[in-house]
Chain A
Amino acid sequence: MASPAVTSTDTLHRSSFSAKARSTSSNAVSTYAAESRRTRRALLLGVAVVTLLAVVSMFVGVTDVSLPALLSGDPAAWEIFWISRLPRTAAVILAGMAVAVAGLIMQLMARNKFVEPSMVGTVESATMGILVATIAFPSAALFAKMGIASLFAVAGTWLFLTIINRLPSRNTLLVPLVGIMLGGVIGSITTFFAYRYDLLQTLNTWMIGDFSGVIRGRYELLWIVAAVTAIGYIAADRFTVAGMGADFTTNLGMNYKAIMRLGMTIVALISAIVVTTVGALPFLGLVVPQLVSLFFGDNLRRSAPLTAVTGAGLVLVCDILSRTIRFPYEVPVGMIMSVLGAALFLILLLRSQRKEASRPRA
């Protein structure tokens, strides 16, 4: 099939094209170097901002943990710091990075900029897996439950990719619609059984991302997510190629199916572990890769670290907001995420439409 590959290439390079168009005078090579430099500078700036936010985040909270207290060696302050503050900030950064990168990989696999794991049924499937694990093996360890959740998440992702391969037209906006509805159907099955087994309330805590329960000993599995994200980064070029389509990938002598399997596993693992430890972070995987590609193009090797840093920064901001907006109470970060994310997504949608309208029709 030729046409999907063409459209995907078009969408993939649209933003880098516009970036290039701005510097038409220079030749391609120096543009590439300039872009690399620009990306590197943005990455450094991003890391600096995230570090700053992380420091701020560690000093926000009901119990007073101030810098002077820590410096003077106050044991109570240090205890809070080690047990609660540091783990929480680490969890926020890890989850933010991982979910954003998972969204990026998902977008390449589905060859569509408007999808992310929580939009196509991956997160809903993971939640269903947790429900099944809770009902079938109530005494199983968290690790086992997470394994079951990951299996369900892989199955859900596979189902989505199978369905969109059969769509009559590969319309950019049709793909996320099918995904949202698939997520809705899977979610309703989960709700149905949760309702029967009186687990609805427990389920709701998984569906809304919340870092308030994160203390030492409760978040360490997120480090696995960091490792998985790193694998995703190492395999970045493969996903870029896979994003060009099955035929293109095969022509380059690569195993398309194996790359897709790897991608699905990475996305599913990240979704399942994040959902089981902190809950869903809606729109994060959707908005962050889009914003990054809007400003820095679609070279995955270059944009993946930026995506990770931006994701971490966004979740840090939301988490700090969630703790201060109704101080001393806390609002689940998932709620702030969904409002902010939905608003950003709407802006991106309407923007893409305006661009579409102003472009001459081919």
Chain B
Amino acid sequence: MPKTAPAHPQSAAAISSSTTTQRIPRFKLTPAALTVVLSLVAIGAVVLFMTFDLKGNLGYIVPRRAIKVSAMVLAAVAVGVSTLLFQTVTNNKILTPSIMGFDALYVLLQTVLVFTLGGTAWVTVPESFKFVIEMVLMVVFAGLLYRWLFTGGNRSLHLMLLIGIVFATLFRGVSALLQRLMEPSEYIILQDLFFASFNQVDPGVLGLAGVVVAVASFFAWRMKSTLDVVSLGRDTCISLGVNHRSVVTRVLVICTVLVAASTALVGPVTFFGLLVVSLGYIICRSYKHVWLLPIVCLLGIIALVGGQFLLENIFGFSTALSIVIEFVGGILFIALLLKGSLK
């Protein structure tokens, strides 16, 4: 277990200059204090978002804002937890479910369902039942595909990344092609689902996604000590008596469910998880999931709610947050590659 909290600032500087850059304690707070501070900031962001410039028909505006904020909070938790778990089991700081094509797979699945069953037939299926079917299919597909990728011994990480990115491209390509081949009326049913947007969230889906995210996060939370061991790497983990394969499988299921929930809620957001988890590792002076999990979620909420607030009220944009995330996340990704955090 790497000891990460040096007692003295000087020794901290020595560590930072010598080995890993993730361990630099730039913030001199203990993880617990950090969690408290972040919670306060997150609550502040949510309150600000709810109350800023509140006038007009309150009965209309307040519920709308509440739905939007809940969607963002749920998406932040789902993306944050799934990315953190994913990085832990794949034992690296750069893979995320979305880079590996999870959300593209979800979009493809929905497209294929509408394409084969027909839009009208699909519309008549109740929203909640639909969600469950999609979730089950998604877990089966992602389970088969990614278990094959991640448990296949010592594959090169770069190769996996590249395969993931190409898979994502392939899924997006097939979805786009099928969407072109559809009847326009059926396409309309689909198209609303595929844009990262916090504006048109269906309250029914919101409730269902809330339950799913809560359950998945609960299981993730229960696995927190096992995850600390898994983060030491496959071989260490096995020699310490953890059933690596089964943990990976369970984590992949949790990730799949969370990605499906967040994609259903707000559409694909590629780099958001990478941003939040990298930031979490930098400011949290611990590798323990007991701290990492809440900190990553809180950072996600602050970034999404705060970012959306700034974009809407200061810069006057409405839905461009995903573009900003893509930009910053892409630069971070290149920086991580250049720094050689990948071996």
Residues of A whose CB lies within 8 Å of any CB of B are: 114, 163, 166-169, 171-174, 176-178, 180-182, 184-185, 187-189, 191-192, 195, 282, 325-326, 331-332, 335-336, 338-339, 342-343, 345-346, 349-350, 353
Q: Is the CB of A185 within 8 A of B162?
A: no
Query: With A173-B159, A339-B170 given, is the CB distance from A178 to B337 under 8 Å?
Result: yes
Partner of B181, one of A180, A184, A331: A331
- Set of chain A residues within 8 Å of B155, measured between Cβ atoms: 353
Query: With A174-B158, A326-B181, A335-B176 given, is the CB distance from A342 to B170 under 8 Å?
Result: yes
Query: With A192-B324, A335-B173 given, is the CB distance from A173 to B166 under 8 Å?
Result: no
Q: Is the CB of B165 within 8 A of A180?
A: yes
* Residue of A167, A171, A325, A331 with most partner-chain B CB within 10 A: A171
- Set of chain A residues within 8 Å of B180, measured between Cβ atoms: 326, 331-332, 335
Tell me the complex Cα distance, A336–B181, Å.
Answer: 12
Assess whether B334 is interfacial by the CB under 8 Å rule.
Answer: yes
Which A-chain residue is minimally distant from B155 (CB atoms)?
A353
Assess whether B331 is interfacial by the CB under 8 Å rule.
Answer: yes
Q: Is the CB of A188 within 8 A of B166?
A: no
Assess whether B342 is interfacial by the CB under 8 Å rule.
Answer: yes
Q: Is the CB of B342 within 8 A of A174?
A: yes
- Set of chain A residues within 8 Å of B162, measured between Cβ atoms: 114, 173, 176-177, 349
Q: How many Å from the CB of B341 to the closest CB on chain A?
A: 10
Query: With A192-B320, A335-B173, A335-B180 given, is the CB distance from A349 to B166 under 8 Å?
Result: yes
Q: What total of chain B residues lie within 8 Å of the partner, measured CB to CB?
A: 35
Query: With A181-B337, A345-B166 given, is the CB distance from A188 to B156 under 8 Å?
Result: no
Assess whether B189 is interfacial by the CB under 8 Å rule.
Answer: no
Residues of B whose CB lies within 8 Å of any CB of A are: 155-156, 158-159, 161-163, 165-167, 169-170, 172-174, 176-177, 180-181, 270, 317, 320, 323-324, 326-327, 330-331, 333-334, 337-340, 342
Partner of B334, one of A163, A171, A195, A326: A163
- Set of chain A residues within 8 Å of B337, measured between Cβ atoms: 167, 174, 177-178, 181
- Set of chain B residues within 8 Å of A336, measured between Cβ atoms: 177
CB-CB nearest 6 A-B residue pairs? A173-B158, A185-B330, A342-B170, A338-B173, A168-B340, A188-B326
- Set of chain B residues within 8 Å of A177, measured between Cβ atoms: 158, 161-162, 165, 337
Task: Give 15 A-B pairs besides A166-B338, A181-B333, A346-B166 with Cβ atoms closer than 8 angstroms.
Answer: A173-B159, A173-B161, A174-B342, A178-B334, A182-B334, A185-B326, A185-B334, A187-B326, A195-B320, A332-B180, A335-B180, A336-B177, A338-B173, A342-B170, A346-B170
Q: Is the CB of B169 within 8 A of A163?
A: no
Q: Is the CB of A339 within 8 A of B174?
A: yes
- Set of chain B residues within 8 Å of A191, measured between Cβ atoms: 323, 326
Tell me the complex Cα distance, A282–B334, Å.
Answer: 22
- Set of chain B residues within 8 Å of A178, measured between Cβ atoms: 334, 337-338
Q: Is the CB of A335 within 8 A of B323?
A: no
- Set of chain B residues within 8 Å of A114, measured between Cβ atoms: 162
Inter-chain contact total with CB atoms closer than 8 Å: 100
Which A-chain residue is minimally distant from B320 (CB atoms)?
A195
Could you list 13 A-B pairs, sorted by A, with CB under 8 Å? A163-B338, A166-B338, A173-B158, A174-B342, A181-B330, A181-B333, A188-B326, A189-B327, A191-B326, A335-B180, A342-B173, A349-B162, A349-B166
- Set of chain A residues within 8 Å of B317, measured between Cβ atoms: 195
Query: With A173-B159, A339-B173 given, is the CB distance from A184 to B326 under 8 Å?
Result: yes
Partner of B177, one of A166, A180, A331: A331
- Set of chain B residues within 8 Å of A192, measured between Cβ atoms: 320, 323-324, 327
Q: Is the CB of B324 within 8 A of A168?
A: no
Tell me the complex Cα distance, A339–B323, Å.
Answer: 24
Tell me the complex Cα distance, A343–B166, Å.
Answer: 8
- Set of chain A residues within 8 Å of B176, measured between Cβ atoms: 335, 338
- Set of chain A residues within 8 Å of B177, measured between Cβ atoms: 331, 335-336, 339
Q: Is the CB of B181 within 8 A of A167?
A: no
Tell me the complex Cα distance, A325–B330, Å.
Answer: 36
Which B-chain residue is minimally distant from A184 (CB atoms)?
B330
- Set of chain A residues within 8 Å of B323, measured between Cβ atoms: 188, 191-192, 195
